[in-house]
Structure 1
């Protein structure tokens, strides 16, 4: 393998949090009269900042979002994360085979990343190597988060590969000059059409892809 460091996105790549977050957004949007289908949210909110999601909901509402909207969202999702969060299938097995440095770089706040990794028993592999967009006030699709993660880990862009499941994340990685592999599922499988990156739909396939580099 030519890489010395793997930079993982968190939500949808390491932990299966997207369905929890988006179901909460859909339910809270409904409470203020905005009807959004869950499948739509899973596709269109994927990889976007929370502020983007809030702005979208507010644009469809006949009112501004309540001042407590974000606080309620955090409380509801964090409670669900503690009780419902599962790792992405095969990710533990993948990490057990990888003997180079790994880190996680996510649009989410560090508290959320750490909670989700702890709940799914992944925290030991990533503790100390957690990078949040909130720490640098720059969110994907801007490339700064991935550049910050690589620099903090002590590696050049060329020595790293990014693992992503969203168009925003892939865009960020490519803008930073990184190699990037796309993890596909039923909600995002069409987002990478026309983008020249390796894609995979199973962590076993990711290991094979990495081994060939």
Structure 2
């Protein structure tokens, strides 16, 4: 395959946020009787719309979360992201070597994506190449955000690959007709491979696989 454009997911692919966000969510949900291990949260929550995660929690505890829950979660996670977010290991070197166009397509709100990229020191590399599900009202596992990103970047699906770390993201990419590479983190390997992703364990390995 002649790769002409790379579409990156954000959290867990470009920036190391998953432990932070999931940790806060599980801590808050525990106050309402919800229990889940962090590794299970990686599998069940990563890549999904936040409202779907809340619904999962509500179904498990058989009651509605408080109306203030979402705003409180966003406030707590934004504060944590401002100081704790780091770039994924090897991503800066990988991006600096790329000779083809690339962008980021995430289920998160635009301001959250920009904040995480800025704190991680990556925002300048993605300026004017950031696409959010909130802009088109289509969330993974639907393929809309990846199809939108490819179109806005000026490429057809067959020219692009998707880099993901979540089951929902891989499903979205495959549904859209993309070849998907799954960033294995020890928790998601089986799920990503089962959904059709080509696994890689580091950006050095991805660089070797793609040769772009």
Q: TM-score band, normalised by the shorter chain?
A: over 0.9
Secondary structure, in 3 states, of the residue corresponding to 2:102?
strand
Separation in structure 1 between the aligned mates of residue 137 and residue 162 of structure 2, nearest angstrom: 20
- 2:68 is aligned to 68
Q: In the alignment, does 2:38 pair up with 1:31?
A: no
Deviation digits for residues 122-148 of structure 1 (CA, Å, limit 9, x no counterpart): 001101110001111110110111000
What is the CA distance between 1:5 and its match in structure 2? Answer: 1.0
The answer to whether structure 1 residue 86 and structure 2 residue 93 are counterparts is: no
1:171 deviation in Å? 0.9
Give the Å deviation of 1:197: 3.5
Deviations 1:95-134 (A, max 9, x none): 0100111100001001000000000010011011100011
Deviates more, 1:29-38 or 1:68-77: 29-38
Name the counterpart of 1:143.
143
Distance 1:196 1:104 in 2: 21
- For 1:63 and 1:195, the matched residues in 2 are separated by 32
Name the structure 2 match of 1:157. 157
Please give the residue correspondences for 1:150-189 in structure 2 after superposition, counting only pairs within 5 Å.
150-189=150-189
Give the distance between the partners of 1:119 and 1:147, measured in 2 at CA: 27
Cross-structure match for 1:118: 118
- Kindly report the root-mean-square deviation, in angstroms, between the aligned alpha carbons of the 2 structures: 1.3
What's the offset of the Cα at 1:195? 4.3
Counterpart Cα distance in 2 of 1:148 and 1:77: 27
Which residue does the alignment assign to 1:21? 21
Show structure 1 runs of 5+ residues with no match.
none
TM-aligned CA distance change 1:29 to 1:147, over 3 Å: same
Do the aligned partners of 2:43 and 2:166 also contact (CA within 8 Å) in 1?
no
1:206 is matched with 206
State whether structure 2 residue 16 is matched by structure 1 residue 10.
no
Separation in structure 2 between the aligned mates of residue 101 and residue 62 of structure 1, nearest angstrom: 46
Q: CA deviation at 1:62?
A: 4.6
Q: Which moved more, 1:6-15 or 1:32-41?
A: 32-41
- TM-score with structure 2 length normalisation? 0.96
Equivalent pair of 1:181/1:198 in contact (CA under 8 Å): yes
Partner of 1:53: 53
Displacement of 1:192 after TM fit?
Answer: 2.5
Asked if the contact 1:141–1:171 (Cα under 8 Å) also holds between the matched residues in 2, the reply is: yes
- SS across alignment from 1:7: strand
Could you list the structure 1 runs, at least 4 aligned residues long, displaced by more than 4 angstroms after superposition.
none
Deviation of the 1:63 alpha carbon: 3.1
2:129 alignment partner in structure 1: 129
Please state how far the C-alpha of 1:48 moved relative to its aligned partner.
Answer: 1.5
